[in-house]
Amino acid sequence: MKVRAIRWTPFRIPFAAGFTTASGEMTAREGVLLQLTTGDGVTGLGEGSPLPAFGGGTVADVQAVLRDRAPALIGAELAAVPGIVAALPRDRAGAAAAYCALDVAAWDALGRSRRVRVASLLGGSVTPEVPVNATVGASTLEAAVAVARGAVDAGFRTVKLKVGVAGSPEAEAGRVAAIREAIGPETGLRLDANGAWTVDEAIETIRLLEAYRPQYIEQPVPACDPAALARVRHAVMMPVAADEAVTGLEAVKALIGAFAADVLIVKPMAVGGLEPARTIVELGTLAGLRVVVTTTIDTGIGVAAALHLASTLPRPIPACGLATGSLLAADLLSEPLRVRDGEMSLPAGPGLGVALHEEQLVRYATGAGAGVGY
């Protein structure tokens, strides 16, 4: 079965409410929705949504990469596409998100053609129910507390709080203390600094936050220096997770070699798709690190892809950062992925098991789209 056509449509979807990280407030999510069609008429869905604030390029960059790279895939064997895409150079902005869109669409089409789930194609055992964490990115303390309480009331057993936004170690401690009080002593708490601090700031702040028993802290220092992350890790008791630093296989090898992290946060959108992501999961697991799969606050197509990967993690699967669809005003799915009692279920259908909401795509599209094929 060969690839006949690849088309993509750019979109912009507002956040449902304010969402703040150490890099500032995010007001909308932009990306491309990609459709890959085979000669037999099977269509797979993919998503390429970069994060410009974290060096992922822009939607224009993603489309430029697709215009350059997609033509070479026309006529290729569908099953070979993920491997072909994984071998492409990552030497330009937007490449990771563009490759993720191509990779995921190929996996989706392959699963649909074989009438099996993508998770089954990825290899290993599959756990159909994946625990997930709630994400708290409200800018004010009052709003953050309300969101955290609502998450616990909705059945979440783990909450992730964005930190690095309070202005001082003492203010950060006050913010975390309020969230811990709101969610109670039994709910898991994670912190995500998005590279907000210097090494010294991170060490000082984390030592104050350890009293509130977080499971770990994600990316306390900028992603460009594994040695800096290692210095933080060896100076504090709290486990340290690498997040934005997980950009690909070579980056993960550097993190492991520097003994820089206890946990790897793997995002298919950030590493170029499911093919490289599963290799990173295997490497991290062999190195004795915990692995957590998250989205980059994607639409439902990106969430579904990450969910399939998460379902193949070694058991017991940790809570993964997949419950992000409700953060956006729409998720582009005809049937949204639901969270029940703190878990997400793999869709029953083949491939990703999701269908595109055509009207939503029309509503949020920012251009007519483009494509290649015959």
CB 308 within 8 A of CB 299: no
What's the CA gap between 242 and 153, in Å, rounded?
Answer: 29
* Cα(347)–Cα(341) distance, integer angstroms: 16
Within 13 Å and on the Cβ side, how many CA atoms surround 49? 23
CA–CA gap between residue 15 and residue 13 (Å, rounded): 7
Catalytic residue among 2, 160, 162, 253: 162
Q: Which of 304, 247, 287, 255 is nearest to 90 (CA)?
A: 247
Tokens for 107, please give them: 């996996």
What tokens appear for 273 in the block?
């798709």
- Residue in the block written with tokens 């491309």: 32
Is 160 annotated as catalytic? no
| Strand, coil or helix: 13 | strand
Choose, from 2, 160, 253, 267, the residue flagged as catalytic: 267
Per the annotation, the verdict on 267 as an active-site residue is yes
* Cis omega (within 30 of 0) for bond into 347: no
Known catalytic residues are 162, 267
